[in-house]
């Protein structure tokens, strides 16, 4: 069968039988068009062999495409070959190709100076500014998940011992140190704001002006607002402070196992991603220094 006829047949198959959208099928066919631009000498399905896939994948990597792009194009062409094999238009085996792992997207991390600017952004002349400063300080000082911060109960915060007790994923308990600045602003918040709040008898530490627990959406908007005020151009979220907590600890020489415990990661492999961020930041600073010499 001629290649063009085979492509038309495959396009009908992925739309009618696989139920893919027109947009998705167009993406598949676009990838296959590029595949056969590379193999422009192949005019018939009898010209195709399984090794074509490996050679094309190597070509894609060699031309500077990202691993993600090369993997996507390999997947498109391999699915086409599998279809031809099933329909009896392709002989021989389709090899298993050992591919590099798709790189994990590293979380955003701010410099220590940027974090300080973010923490300084809330207006301490206003009750919600005092509360938000206490929340930001707590999150950065202890690496809490946003859900853990918003669900934090007053009984779980020991201001005398600078310890906060967290019930994380799977209801697992962990104790995390609380820095002096976080304690200072929590005390300020309790004395000047929370004790005057209509919900002061609530078990939750951080409350809205109506005495209710805060929502994730609200805190997300506040983070965005303070980042804008601080002149931070990076796209950040409440989770960014947790990333910064881990990265800055590792940069200061804290052991990976200790960071794993404080973050509440069950698997140390989850924590190891921060070693890549930390190394990248250190190398970046080193390169900048060397370029200035």
Catalytic residues: 145, 169, 239, 242, 265, 274
C-alpha torsion sign, points 131, 134, 137, 139: negative
User: What distance in Å separates the CA atoms of residue 231 and residue 121, rounded to the nearest whole number?
Assistant: 10
Only one residue has tokens 């979380």, namely 107
3-class DSSP assignment, residue 268: helix
Q: How far apart are CA 169 and CA 27, in angstroms?
A: 38
The burial class, CB within 10 Å (0-12 / 13-18 / 19+), for 194 is buried
How would you label 234-252 residue by residue, b for 16+ Cβ within 10 Å and e otherwise?
A: eebbbebbbbbbbbbbbbe
d(CA 193, CA 176): 25
């Amino acid at each position: 069968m001629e290649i063009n006829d085979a492509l038309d047949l495959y396009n009908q198959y992925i739309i009618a039988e696989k139920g893919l959208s027109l947009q998705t099928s167009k993406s598949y066919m676009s990838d296959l068009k590029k595949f056969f631009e590379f193999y422009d000498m192949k005019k018939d399905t009898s010209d195709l062999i399984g090794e074509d896939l490996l050679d094309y994948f190597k070509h894609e990597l060699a031309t500077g495409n990202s691993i993600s792009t090369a993997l996507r194009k390999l997947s498109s062409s391999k699915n086409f070959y599998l279809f031809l094999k099933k329909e009896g238009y392709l002989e021989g085996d389709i090899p298993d190709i050992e591919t590099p792992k798709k790189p994990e997207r590293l979380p955003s991390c701010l410099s220590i100076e940027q974090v300080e600017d973010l923490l300084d952004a809330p207006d301490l002349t206003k009750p919600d500014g005092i509360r938000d400063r206490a929340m930001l300080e707590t999150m950065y000082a202890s690496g809490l998940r946003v859900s853990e911060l918003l669900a934090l109960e007053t009984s779980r915060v020991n201001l005398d011992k600078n310890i906060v007790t967290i019930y994380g994923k799977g209801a697992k308990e962990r104790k995390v140190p609380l820095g002096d600045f976080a304690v200072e602003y929590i005390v300020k918040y309790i004395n000047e704001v929370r004790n005057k709040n209509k919900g002061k008898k609530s078990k939750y530490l951080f409350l809205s002006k109506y005495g209710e627990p805060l929502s994730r959406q609200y805190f997300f908007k506040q983070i965005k607002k303070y980042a804008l005020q601080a002149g931070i151009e990076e796209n950040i979220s409440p989770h960014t402070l947790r990333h910064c907590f881990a990265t800055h600890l590792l940069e200061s020489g804290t052991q990976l196992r200790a960071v794993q415990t404080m973050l509440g990661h069950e698997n140390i492999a989850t924590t190891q991603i921060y070693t890549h961020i930390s190394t990248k930041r250190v190398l970046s600073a080193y390169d900048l220094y060397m370029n200035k010499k």
